[in-house]
């Protein structure tokens, strides 16, 4: 593996790949192949037994995918990375690997809708129960941990309410009980937050978002210890099979090169839009980690480099008013997903979080008036003009 660089800005371009190994090709070549040939039957036997290193079949490894995995491990400060065909393939591979029937998971009280759905399915089919915790203090978290708790699963910032959870505190409590902490770092990327440096054990990503950054790939990534990821690779990844295609891995390698540059622009734009949105008379409340008035601001200062590119806000009005605001936009796109060059806006209660039963949804703070905004890379003044004219129409 290529040397690990001290600075993320260099790491995103160079780590995990050495041109010398690939005929001098500046960019990692795309190995668009399903399988690898063996020179002899005996070599095939050695590869399968592990006596000889080398590629076998792209579900169990591919050089383009390896370059992405090694780069991502370097960026998250982990020992090993694994790439998947979607964020949900990554989340499910990790949670299934960590649990068995009758186990229990403690989760942050806000979760991406499909993660919530996955946990509900695991409960229904395999009796793997879960508790939701606000994780506002170590004591509150300790009270949720049972003898059968297999792991703690955290999203921070929580999608879509932008609430933050103190990762160092969660990691400290988890160590008292010797259980691993899994963090969904999708909203931040390693440029803004590194959960492993804060004592957490496993990081998952929907790489579809900031890692890819261009809205053209669905993918997932996991980073953690070599031991755990070796197990995931040879169990839930190999046998459930949610792998990434080499082409998508290649696109992610390309996207990653501009991650810090893009993220700074996302953050700059979001800070400006936040300042304007918070004072608009049709905005009832606003949630942005970079808001100094936000109760989570102290956590943001502790564990995030910047406030990120995501803002949620509640409008004064009804669900229909929220939908009317979205419909009145001229170029800001109504779409789920986030972290793309284009500014995207959505209505979580009827879109990303619609699968969550209403009572839980409201408990999580996802009201009918809540709108989620992924601030893109356009000139922020143009984005604000569009948002303002749409809000003015409510």
Residue nearest to ligand PLP (CB): 87
Stretch near ligand PLP under the rule CB under 6 A, chosen from 85-93, 195-203, 246-254, 324-332: 85-93
For ligand PLP, the closer CB: 47 or 353: 353
Stretch near ligand PLP under the rule CB under 6 A, chosen from 40-48, 84-92, 300-308, 311-319: 84-92
Q: Which residues make beta-bridge pairs with 181?
A: 152
Q: Which of 15, 69, 103, 155 binds ligand PLP (CB under 6 A)?
A: 155
Shortest separation between residue 309's beta carbon and ligand PLP, angstroms: 13
Shortest separation between residue 352's beta carbon and ligand PLP, angstroms: 6
Q: Of all helices (H) and strands (E), which one includes residue 204?
A: strand 202-206
Distance of CA 113 to the CA centre of its chain: 13
For ligand PLP, the closer CB: 31 or 112: 112
Which residues within the stretch 213-232 sit at the binding site for ligand PLP (CB under 6 A)? 218, 220
Which residues within the stretch 110-129 sit at the binding site for ligand PLP (CB under 6 A)? 112, 114
Query: d(Cα 170, Cα 153) in Å, to the nearest integer?
Result: 10
Shortest separation between residue 375's beta carbon and ligand PLP, angstroms: 15
Q: Are the C-beta atoms of 69 and 83 separated by less than 8 Å? A: yes
Among residues 347, 308, 391, 325, which one has the least CA distance to residue 113? 347
Is residue 88 at the binding interface for ligand PLP, with CB under 6 A as the rule? yes
CB burial string 174-213: b at 16+ within 10 A, e below: beeeebbbbbbbbbbbbbbbbbbebebbbbbbbbbbbbbb
For ligand PLP, the closer CB: 219 or 283: 219
Count how many residues are written for the chain.
394
Q: Which two tokens stand for residue 377?
A: 């890379």
Residues that bind ligand PLP (CB under 6 A): 86-88, 91, 112, 114, 155, 159, 184, 186, 206, 208, 218, 220
């Amino acid at each position: 593996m290529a040397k690990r660089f001290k600075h993320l800005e260099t790491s995103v371009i160079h780590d995990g790949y050495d041109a010398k190994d690939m005929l001098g090709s500046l960019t990692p070549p795309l190995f668009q192949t399903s399988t690898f040939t063996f020179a002899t039957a005996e070599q095939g036997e050695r590869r399968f037994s592990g006596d000889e290193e080398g590629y076998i079949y792209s579900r169990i490894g591919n050089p383009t995918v390896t370059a992405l995995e090694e780069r991502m491990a370097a960026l998250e400060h982990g020992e090993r990375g694994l790439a998947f065909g979607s964020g949900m393939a990554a989340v499910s591979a990790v949670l299934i690997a960590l649990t068995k029937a009758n186990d229990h998971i403690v989760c942050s009280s806000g979760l991406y809708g499909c993660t919530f759905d996955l946990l509900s399915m695991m409960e229904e089919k395999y009796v793997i129960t879960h508790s939701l915790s606000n994780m506002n203090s170590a004591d509150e978290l300790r009270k949720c941990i049972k003898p059968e708790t297999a792991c703690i699963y955290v999203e921070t910032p929580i999608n879509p309410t932008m609430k933050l959870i103190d990762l160092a505190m969660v990691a400290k409590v988890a160590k008292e009980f010797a259980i691993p902490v899994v963090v969904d770092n999708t909203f931040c990327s390693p440029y803004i937050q590194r959960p492993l440096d804060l004592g957490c054990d496993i990081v998952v990503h929907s790489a579809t978002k900031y890692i890819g950054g261009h809205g053209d790939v669905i993918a997932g990534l996991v980073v953690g210890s070599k031991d755990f990821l070796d197990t995931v690779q040879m169990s839930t990844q190999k046998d459930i099979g949610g792998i990434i295609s080499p082409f998508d891995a290649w696109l992610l390698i390309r996207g990653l090169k501009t991650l810090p540059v893009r993220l700074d622009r996302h953050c700059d734009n979001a800070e400006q839009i936040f300042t304007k949105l918070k004072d608009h008379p049709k905005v009832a409340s606003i949630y942005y980690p970079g808001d100094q008035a936000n109760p989570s601001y102290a956590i943001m200062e502790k564990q995030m480099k910047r406030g990120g590119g995501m803002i949620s806000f509640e409008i004064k009005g009804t669900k229909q008013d929220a939908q009317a605001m979205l419909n009145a936009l001229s170029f800001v796109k109504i779409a789920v997903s986030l972290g793309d060059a284009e500014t995207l806006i959505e209505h979580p209660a009827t879109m990303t979080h619609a699968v969550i039963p209403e009572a839980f949804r409201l408990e999580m703070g996802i009201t009918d008036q809540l709108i989620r905004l992924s601030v893109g890379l356009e000139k922020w003044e143009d984005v604000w003009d569009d948002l303002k004219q749409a809000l003015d129409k409510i």
